Amino acid sequence: MADPELVRVMDYILNRCNERDIEAVAAAVVRRRRDLTIFGGSVNLPDPKRMADEMSRQFNIEGTIEGLTKSIREYAMRIIRQEAPELSEEQTEMLTRTWIPDRNEPKEEAALPPDLLLSMIEQFVMFSRGEMDEGEDRRLRTDLGAWPERYWKAFPQVIRLIITGYLRDEMDDGEFKTRINTAMVMY
């Protein structure tokens, strides 16, 4: 019994090819013969599908966009753990999700410029620790209304986690600055 794919190819060549198509088929046949000669027959010829399947298994890549996204996210998390071990698992996860969002999750608003974000973090932390000048708080409230709530909502999740840890005295000033700087570089 003939291979159905071969029958379709032969039908196309014999019944539907124009002159340009025949030239393309002839060039493909010449290339295939050359490959067979180089690789010593069809037994040793590389099979692209088999190679892709093997690479997918080797690198643990699933065959869907979601699977590829998951694999890339896991790879990014490994890099973050190596380069920024001071970040907690939750911070690492949030940072990774910021960089490589899940297509099914709602998108966050556009990123704030780094210098503005740093200024907002400083103001928020000073206010939260009771160290902000009353005049500056009044000015911010006049300009922005309920600015602490607006700032908090504007902060990326990883920044919120770091600030929360700092305000709960889970880290000192140096560690806070290091974590914020690391998050800013990765943000």
**Summary mean pLDDT of the chain:** 82
Q: What is the pLDDT of residues 122-142, one digit of tens each?
A: 999 999 999 999 999 999 999
The closest alpha carbon to 93, from 107, 80, 112, belongs to 80
Q: Are 180 and 159 in contact (CB under 8 A)?
A: yes
Residue 120: the pLDDT is 94
| Distance, CA of 144 to CA of 153 (rounded, Å) | 13
Q: Where are the domains of the chain?
A: 4-38, 65-99, 114-186
Q: What is the pLDDT of residues 37-93, one digit of tens each?
A: 776 655 555 666 666 667 666 665 555 667 777 778 888 888 888 888 888 888 888
CB atoms near residue 96 (< 10 Å): 21
Residue 186: the pLDDT is 67
Most confident of the ranges 22-36, 44-58, 153-167: 153-167
Question: Within a 13 Å sphere around the CA of 52, how many CA atoms are in the beta-carbon half?
Answer: 5
To the question of pTM greater than 0.85 for the whole model, the response is no
**For the chain, what percentages of helix, strand and coil (3-state, to nearest 5) are there?**
70, 0, 30
| Distance, CA of 123 to CA of 121 (rounded, Å) | 6
